[in-house]
Amino acid sequence: MGQPWFSAKGREIHCNRRPLVMGVVNVTTDSFYDGGRYVESERAIAHALELVEQGADIIDLGGESTRPGACSVSEQDELAHVIPVVKGLVHRVSVPISIDTSKSRVAEVALDCGASIINDVSALRQDPAMASVIARFDAAVVLMHMQGTPQTMQQSPQYSDVVGEVVRFLEGRVQMALCAGIAGTNIVLDPGFGFGKLVNHNLKLLDGLSAIAALNHPVLVGLSRKAFIGNVVERPVEHREWGTAAAVALAVERGAHILRVHDVAMMIDVIKMAAALNPRWSSCREEHDA
């Protein structure tokens, strides 16, 4: 099992009692599920507070959609959407705030305002200044696997061994992050469900998740309402919560430490139950020994 904690600006975030829930708040017009709902800062802040109330352990704020074919957002627009929400949240929640961005300037301003985790779906490849910004703030980083870019990634993804290739990619990105001065204890890994992967690739990756947990960093997974789940259960995005629940339960079974979800209240029950059934989460089980 991967190392069950990570550090973000000197604060240790433990995921050994039960897997952590990262609640998603997209301050975008075009995200594949919640696009347009929380573009106004006040709405985004209210939604984030609601997710924390429901039990979210981390809030992930995104100002640019990464859905296949999404249009890119300028640095200025991303800052204008994300920063007021960070400022509005930072003194009202005690949970860490993560920023879903691949732009170093957005990361820098958000970290300066109190965010402590950078969730970079490009795994430090898009912006050459990103790694040094993260290192300077001693922030945590999520390094995610993606084949291609959001514009091209679903055109014809190809793997001969999807699990092995994702493991090798993540190992390489960890080395790069370490060389750039990011501490190993600040690194979280993510196989990148839906990012340059066909249905079959996503299913194999979920089944083989323990190989990623073996890399000895906490493992984050973003499965929530994704297209491959829709493809299996044959449901549109608004009706994929049961499919998501099954995938989340299996991810916990295979060693995921952090589950990135839109539906915190629902998925927290799924996570608690899946963890209580698994001897790996022994402390979660002990709570029920009395």
- Which residues bind to ligand HH2, rule: CB under 6 A? 24, 26, 28, 31-33, 62, 65-67, 100, 119, 121, 142, 144, 190, 192-193, 220, 222, 260
Is residue 226 among the annotated active site residues? yes
Helices 75-90 and 41-54, interaxial angle, to 10°? 50
Of the candidates 240, 254, 260, 272, the residue annotated as catalytic is 260
Report the distance separating Cα 150 and Cα 70, nearest Å: 7
Helix (H, G, I), strand (E, B) or coil at 207: helix
Of the candidates 103, 173, 225, 226, the residue annotated as catalytic is 226
Nearer to ligand HH2, 219 or 274 (CB): 219
Sign of the alpha-carbon dihedral angle for 276, 282, 287, 288: positive
CB of residue 54 to ligand HH2, shortest distance in Å: 17
Report the distance separating Cα 1 and Cα 157, nearest Å: 29
Nearer to ligand HH2, 3 or 224 (CB): 224
- Report residue 67 CA to chain centroid gap: 14
Nearest Cα to 163, choosing from 255, 44, 37, 47? 255
Report yes or no: 141 and 186 within 8 Å, Cβ to Cβ.
yes
Nearer to ligand HH2, 222 or 230 (CB): 222
Report the distance separating Cα 82 and Cα 10, nearest Å: 23
Those residues whose C-beta lies under 8 Å from the C-beta of residue 17, and which sit 6 or more positions away, are 281, 283, 284
CB of residue 290 to ligand HH2, shortest distance in Å: 36
CB of residue 104 to ligand HH2, shortest distance in Å: 17
Nearer to ligand HH2, 65 or 244 (CB): 65
Place of tokens 């799924």: 270
Nearer to ligand HH2, 142 or 284 (CB): 142
CA end-to-end span of the chain? 27
Tokens of 25: 């708040």
CB of residue 188 to ligand HH2, shortest distance in Å: 8
CB of residue 60 to ligand HH2, shortest distance in Å: 7
Write out the catalytic residue numbers: 226, 260
